[in-house]
Amino acid sequence: MGRSQSLPRGGDPRFGPDADDTGCPILHVDMDAFYASVEVRHRPELRGRAVVVGGVGPRGVVSSASYEARRYGVRSAMPTMRARALCPHAVFLPPDFTRYTAASRAVMQIFRDVTPLVEPLSLDEAFLDVAGARRLFGPPAAIARQIRARVAEEQGLTCSVGVAPSKFVAKLGSTRAKPDGLLVIPATRVLDFLHPLPVAALWGVGERSAETLLRLGLRTVGDLAEAPVGMVRTALGAAAATHLHELAWGRDPRRVRPEQAEKSIGAEVTFDVDVDDPTEIRRTLLALAEKVGARLRGAGQVGRTVSVKVRMADFRTVTRSRTLDVPTDVAREMFDTVWSLYTVLQPGERIRLLGVRAEGLSAADETPRQLALGAPERGWREAEVAADAAAARFGRSVIGPASLLTGRDPRRNENPTRP
């Protein structure tokens, strides 16, 4: 995500959708208020209203806010309680990552229809190198327009695109183009674009670094570019000084790296009130395993190692993991593993946070499945895939994990039992 507060959208004709895109093969595409926009697409009656997605409890944090909510000062990573105070009339929704993952995969496929050189940064943004796509689709700005049009028409979502000679400048461009805009930064105008910006716009400049640079009298990127490197080195260290000096002069040689498989997929929850009830803990671990399983299946991945994370009321955190004989994307199998790990752990204290994670990922269609001795061919996975299909139509919160409700093994003809 960009720092939109540092980069107000402007009307400088040197940088706009019709500017010269010669030598600008890099696109940065950033979906607009992605989680909130996907929720509005799912519930059209919310269109035009302030929508906030995130933890809805007293310890929750905002994950995404519609632009209607942002007008009241609501921002990502803000405590939900603060967001409620700023915008009490907003609609507050818990995140549905199954829905967001599905939307992200559809959007990323649109990008890959243009070029194989797609580097996702998260579910809602990616870099594209379109140098090799010119013959089929035209110059970079035209390609950006086509992508924006397809995302709007096929997915009912909007995105902002920066077109530039490098990844760093393209990302700044998409931030300045928000919401629902396109900005081209010509190769010959990069320094004209960069140097008036505040130093906080540079990658690697956090709040503390910005304060340090301001104390040195370096307020803009241009100030930093002209400052002696030795002065910045003394203040921030050699590596940071070199990195920022290069960026301040618009130099970013990094190439777009095609998507690499995620190293892990996980889910965790922070309780509104610390808990020690075994039944609630068990139910929570099962729900987290179901969420991880749905995300694995949505990404076409299976995990070889399953881990559980437990954070106590005093913030001490313990993690335990187990490597499976056969990789899995089945929630019930992951739950059995994490519950076993948790039982051995026996924290005996009130718990603030629980998490479940699958690691050692590989492509599901390239990983042979093995049945346990005596196990039928159809069972938990088929039940969970059916739940995925129902959730895609009606929403995960409506369907809920079937195993969580009944604890019944779909492979057996037995009476339901509580998990």
Residue 129 assigned ligand-binding role: no
User: What six digits make up the tokens of 14?
Assistant: 């040197």
Helices 278-299 and 331-345 cross at an angle (nearest 10°) of: 140
Please report which helix (H) or strand (E) contains residue 163, including its range: strand 159-164
Length of the chain counted residue by residue: 419
Task: Quote the strand ranges of 236-295, DSSP E.
Answer: 264-275
Q: Say which DSSP state 46 is in.
A: G
Q: Looking at 39, 68, 125, 333, which residue is catalytic?
A: 125
Active site residue 384: no
Residue 409 assigned ligand-binding role: no
How far is it, in rounded angstroms, from Cα 403 to Cα 419?
8
> Residues near 337 by Cβ (< 8 Å), separated by ≥ 6?
306, 322, 324
Q: In this structure, what is the dihedral angle of CA atoms 93, 36, 70, 44, given to the nearest 10 degrees?
A: -90
User: What six digits make up the tokens of 284?
Assistant: 């929570």
| β-sheet bridge partners, residue 318 | 310
How far is it, in rounded angstroms, from Cα 136 to Cα 142?
11
User: What six digits make up the tokens of 167?
Assistant: 């990844």
Do 396 and 96 touch, CB atoms closer than 8 A?
yes
Which sequence positions are flagged as catalytic? 125
Q: Which residues are annotated as a binding site for Mg(2+)?
A: 30, 124
